[in-house]
A and B are shown apart, each in its own frame.
Chain A
């Protein structure tokens, strides 16, 4: 209580503090929220909308005829700031250049999306799957088979996201 306050201010302050005015105001706020609709999203069953630009787990895509898109140009390997991509390549029996080894280390990856931007054939992409986990040591390395499998599994979603975002690329 400061000395320069006048009588009426002091009196109102006394009345306020003895009638628990501020406490009741606070309790009114929490009390009103008690009846409000709950905004919780129950995660495994429900999820928030995901942007088509979301950068989640990686995938290697194929052409509609089943042929791998990747031509082993190694631009992604070169651009990767975290050195998470490792590629080895040699010409296949049919004369086309393909990767024999394509590995992404998920622990190194920073999900910047530069690999996707650099890819001339849209082979390596970041899907919008943000919820995956690693159970065993070594599972953090995504091999070529795994990447292609992810691509096959989510191809519809990947194509849809790319189409939605096409105008801005």
Chain B
């Protein structure tokens, strides 16, 4: 009995630690987003609040928390308030199975990849309910677009994950990472390159970020599904979007870039120079790279037209992943090294 309570307390502490870490990541990300995009526009971005603008996200948080929550009279009040909670919750619970190092994970379950796939599909409910409950045409359009987009890209994402699953022979994240032992060229991004690209682009589309942010589409839909939201309810959507960005970056780092493994494994001498770097730091570097790419895409590409997004999802990604799954099947069966030699 006492042992059980102790275990629950440990899990609770881990969850709190992840949530706090995630909040810090999101705050930093909102700051860096404006800073990076500003730099790419040859501007300097926010620099007034605190030294070099570092306290800007804190100021924004205070602003969003103290603002009035406006609930439209025509809306469904219960669902209107529930929707951001669903978005927020699903953005957080997927982190339960993300390992940060060998054995450092809240729930080391066998079907981790499946769990993440399920949870990331649930996230779209928050957006759909928000759009419907707002009882506004812009919100509804935004949520319909988000739903169609998420469903289309989920399939390609799922197929990309099947490729990883076949290569690693497991649905457990730790097993997938350990199967990529052996340095930069042994990671799955190389043999699964098409799946890696498909997963990355689908991930950008899945989180409704530019150039796939038609669900928000501020130029045609005002703000998409969160037009009617203000104050804390808006902040929850905002947090969920950024937490999902971090999540997709973490997933892609784990599945295709060797998670917490050092890129210098199996290179003589260099391997030992970097042996002191702890695993989570490597993971953080990889996550940061993908987050930077998110911001880079946003600064570079205009929004896709809606039919182009659908064409890309259904007519390019799904056939591509299907073909590569067959290729991977042969590679695994024939034990083509160095990736599948042991498999």
Number of B positions contacting A (CB below 8 A):
14
Q: Is the interface of A mostly helix, strand, loop or mixed?
A: helix
Bound complex: CA of A31 vs CA of B47, how far in Å?
Answer: 21
Interface size classification for chain A: 10 to 19
Query: Is B315's beta carbon under 8 Å from chain A?
Result: no
Q: Mark B279-308, 1 if CB is under 8 A from A, else 0.
A: 000000000000000001101110000000
Nearest CB in chain B: distance from A39 CB, A: 5
Q: Which residues of chain B have C-beta atoms less than 8 A from A40's C-beta?
A: 42-44
Contact A36 B296 (CB under 8 A): no
- In the docked arrangement, what's the CA distance between A49 and B293, Å? 38
The answer to whether B299 touches A30, judged by C-beta atoms less than 8 angstroms apart, is: yes
Tell me, yes or no, whether B36 is within 8 Å of chain A by CB: yes
Q: List 29 A-B contacts (CB under 8 A).
A: A23-B300, A23-B301, A26-B301, A27-B296, A27-B297, A27-B300, A29-B300, A30-B40, A30-B296, A30-B299, A30-B300, A31-B40, A31-B296, A33-B39, A33-B40, A33-B42, A34-B36, A34-B39, A34-B40, A38-B42, A38-B43, A38-B44, A39-B42, A39-B43, A40-B42, A40-B43, A40-B44, A42-B44, A42-B47
- CB of B41 within 8 A of chain A? yes
Are B36 and A26 interface neighbours, CB within 8 A? no
Interface string of B196-216 (1 = CB under 8 A from A): 010000000000000000000
Give the residues in chain A near B44, CB-CB below 8 Å. Answer: 38, 40, 42
A38 to B37, CA, bound (A): 12
Interface residues of A in 74-118 (CB under 8 A from B): none
Contacts of B297 in A (CB 8 A): 27
Q: Which residues of A contact B41 (CB under 8 A)?
A: 33
Residue of B39, B197, B301 near A38 (CB, 8 A) is: B39
Measured between beta carbons, the chain A residues less than 8 angstroms from B301 are 23, 26
Cα distance, A26 to B297, chains bound together (Å)? 9
A36 touches B300 (CB 8 A): no
Q: Which of B36, B41, B197 has the most CB of A within 10 A?
A: B41
Inter-chain contacts of A27 with B (CB < 8 A): 296-297, 300
Expressed in whole angstroms, the Cα–Cα distance for A36 and B42 within the complex equals: 7
A30 to B299, CA, bound (A): 7
In Å, the complex CA distance between A34 and B300 comes to 11
Taking beta carbons and an 8 Å cutoff, which residues of B are in contact with A? 36, 39-44, 47, 197, 296-297, 299-301
Please measure, in the bound complex, the distance between the C-alpha atom of A29 and the C-alpha atom of B40, giving whole angstroms.
Answer: 9
Q: Which of B36, B296, B300 has the most CB of A within 10 A?
A: B300
Residue of B nearest to A38 (CB): B44
Task: List the A side residues contacting B39 at CB < 8 Å.
Answer: 33-34, 38
Which chain A residue has the least Cβ–Cβ distance from B302? Answer: A26
Q: How far is the CB of A26 from chain B (nearest CB, A)?
A: 5
Q: Which of A26, A38, A39, A42 contacts B300 (CB 8 A)?
A: A26
By Cβ-Cβ distance, the 10 closest A-B pairs, closest first, are: A30-B300, A30-B40, A40-B44, A38-B44, A26-B300, A34-B39, A30-B299, A34-B40, A40-B43, A27-B300
Docked CA distance A30–B39 (Å): 9
List, in ascending order, chain A residues with CB within 8 A of B299's CB. Answer: 30
Q: Kindly report which residue of chain B lies nearest to residue A37, judged by CB atoms.
A: B42
Please, what's the 1-or-0 string for A28-69, where 1 marks a CB less than 8 Å from any CB in chain B?
011101101011101000000000000000000000000000
* Distance (whole angstroms) from the CB of B193 to the closest CB of chain A: 11
C-alpha spacing A42/B53, complex, angstroms? 14
Chain A 1-42 against B: per-residue CB contact (8 Å), 1 yes, 0 no?
A: 000000000000000000010010011011101101011101
